[in-house]
Amino acid sequence: MTHWIPIFAILLASALGAQAIDRTKPPETPPLAAYKLPPVAESTLANGLRVVMVEDRRFPLVTLRLAFSAGSKFDPTETSGLAETVSALLREGTSKRTSRQIAEELASLGANLNTTVSADNLVIGASVLAENAPKLLDLVADLARNASFPEDEIKLRKQNREQELIDARSRAETLAEEKFAALVYGSHPYGRILPTAESIARIDRAALVSYRDRLLVPNNAVLILIGALPPKDQALKLAASKFGDWAKKPLPTPPAAKFPEPKRTLVLVDRPGSVQADIRAGQIAVTRTNPDYFPLVVGNSILGGGSSSRMFLSIREEKGFAYDAHTELLPNKDASMFAAVTQVRNEVIGDAMETLLGELEGMGQAHVKAQELTDVKNYLNGTFVIRMETQNGLANQLSMTRTMGLPESYLEMYVTRIRSVEPEQIRNAAKKYFTPGDATIVVVGDAQKLAKPLEKFGAVIVEKSKP
């Protein structure tokens, strides 16, 4: 009986070839395949450093992350910008290498290295030609453990950062993001997305060294290695040889997760001469471990996740108010921030605000449509798989899950959890997090043109933009 299966397959194939395909309809395709995470090997060294390894031999490349739970939330208020200054200066000199030696060594190894700081984490990220992976590991260990913060490098960094901040604040979107985070997160450090020039000026070498010694420690870190690695035990031995004798330390307590209650607020940041109004409306929301999180992710995507989202279709395609209309859900470890974002021409500010708030409200009223829900689940599922195609994509996800304290199954389960979200859960989440009545609204633009038409949306607090 086995023979007729291949015959059947051949018949089918020839039918497909011979038949005049109906070009007026999109082709039928199978449902998305189940996502399978590649095997992840995880160990912990005696000093608490977690080592995560994934074998990937597609390219002669190794990608690395050394991620610390040491983000800007640990910055003292008076020296905000401390974490980012530590991060920027890690590559500017160690007890063994000068800044220039580090730069030249990286280029010679075929390595690309970045250090980044978010609210929760400080991450050294790099990729390197596979044959040079051991040398890169040696270099990264040196940066993390022996950064020496030379005085002349500190001075240069502070000077340049001052100019970068002036430049950043000459952009409307920065002003909107900054004001919005400050209102949503209140006095919690999550509310400071950029330091001030004054706080940068107060940072000195002692503060940098102390930050390094308290937070850049092995039991606060995870090392991720992806790529054409040596066999697992050898790779682990290599990691241990570079990081094994690094002393473990007690860790400082992060700031308490206390945030203000959401409250309808409307702030207009005056940027004279702006030809557009940058709008940002939203509120504080839950973290990845809360049961509301996945309904929120799906709802967020239906509302503003792509070019078939509700906001894109109404604000851009139907009304032509804006080029960009989207939503963001930015999950920090202790709270996330939801925002609906668009930039509209000055003349339509009133209509655009009404449309935007109407879309927010609509999510909490009727159930999302079945097709809309299926499409968005596919979108989130597919784009997740696409993001995982590169070593960087996988490294970022592994680094995120490990530093955010998420269960090891998080990535493997991500698609399943997206798929299981029900319309009622989305409506409930929308009522909690998309409510116009609780929304913090920030508009950045020319106050002379915008203040009046905004009045019908509540008391407008006008603030000056400080360059």
Partner 1 sequence: MNTKTLALALATAATLAAADLKIPIERYTLKNGMRIVLSADNSAPVVAVYVIFGVGARSEEKGRTGFAHLFEHMMFQGSENAPKGVLDKLVEGNGGMLNGSTHPDFTDYFEVLPSNKLPVALWLEADRMRGLKITKENLDNQREAVKQERRLRMDNQPYVTAIIDNWPMLAYRNWGNSHSLIGSFEDLNAATVDDVARFFKTFYAPNNAVMVVAGDIQAAEAKKWIETYFADIPPQPQPKHPDLAEPAQTEARREVYKDKFAQVPAVVVGYTGTPKRRSPEYYAILMIDAILTGGESSRLYQGLVKGRQSAIQVEANLGWPFAGPADYREPAVYAINVVHKPNFTGAQLVAQVEEELGKLVKEGVPAAELERARTFLRAQRVGEMQSSYRRAGLLAQYELFDSNPDLVNTEMESLFAVTPAQVQAAAKKLFAPQRKNVLEIVPAPKAEGK
Q: Which is nearer to partner 1, 215 or 443 (CB)?
A: 443
The DSSP bridge pattern shows strands 111-117 and 122-129 to be: antiparallel
CB of 153 to partner 1, least distance (A): 9
CB of 6 to partner 1, least distance (A): 16
Sign of CA dihedral 161, 167, 168, 169: positive
Q: Which is nearer to partner 1, 313 or 462 (CB)?
A: 313
Q: Which is nearer to partner 1, 97 or 188 (CB)?
A: 97
Residue 331's φ and ψ, nearest 5 degrees, are -85, 115
Q: Which is nearer to partner 1, 73 or 271 (CB)?
A: 271
Q: Which is nearer to partner 1, 160 or 289 (CB)?
A: 160
Q: Which is nearer to partner 1, 116 or 378 (CB)?
A: 378
Nearest to 72 by CA among 218, 259, 231, 199: 199
CB of 367 to partner 1, least distance (A): 18
CB of 366 to partner 1, least distance (A): 19
CB of 29 to partner 1, least distance (A): 5
Joined together, the tokens standing for residue 180 give: 């919005």
CB of 374 to partner 1, least distance (A): 7
CB of 78 to partner 1, least distance (A): 25
CB of 173 to partner 1, least distance (A): 9
- DSSP characters over 165-214: HHHHTTSHHHHHHHHHHHHHHTTSGGG-SS--HHHHHH--HHHHHHHHHH
The DSSP bridge pattern shows strands 461-464 and 265-270 to be: parallel
Joined together, the tokens standing for residue 71 give: 């983000």
From the CB of residue 195, how many other CB atoms can be counted at a distance below 10 Å?
A: 22
Q: What is the dihedral of CA 37, 41, 47, 48, to 10 degrees?
A: 30
Q: Which is nearer to partner 1, 289 or 307 (CB)?
A: 307
Contact 411/243 with Cβ under 8 angstroms? no
Task: Report d(CA 449, CA 443) in Å as an integer.
Answer: 12
Amino acid symbol at 160: N
CB of 397 to partner 1, least distance (A): 14
If phi > 0 it is left, if psi is from -120 to 50 it is alpha, else beta; for residue 98 that is beta
Task: Report d(CA 295, CA 299) in Å as an integer.
Answer: 6
From residue 145, give the alpha-carbon distance in Å to each of 100, 236, 264, 386: 18, 18, 46, 35
Q: Which is nearer to partner 1, 379 or 410 (CB)?
A: 379
Q: Which is nearer to partner 1, 70 or 373 (CB)?
A: 373
Q: Which is nearer to partner 1, 385 or 462 (CB)?
A: 385
Q: Which is nearer to partner 1, 109 or 267 (CB)?
A: 109
Residue 284's φ and ψ, nearest 5 degrees, are -75, 150
For residue 241, the surrounding DSSP H or E stretch is helix 232-243
CB of 183 to partner 1, least distance (A): 22
Contacts of 107 (CB under 8 A, 6+ apart): none
CB of 359 to partner 1, least distance (A): 17
Contacts of 173 (CB under 8 A, 6+ apart): 278, 343, 444
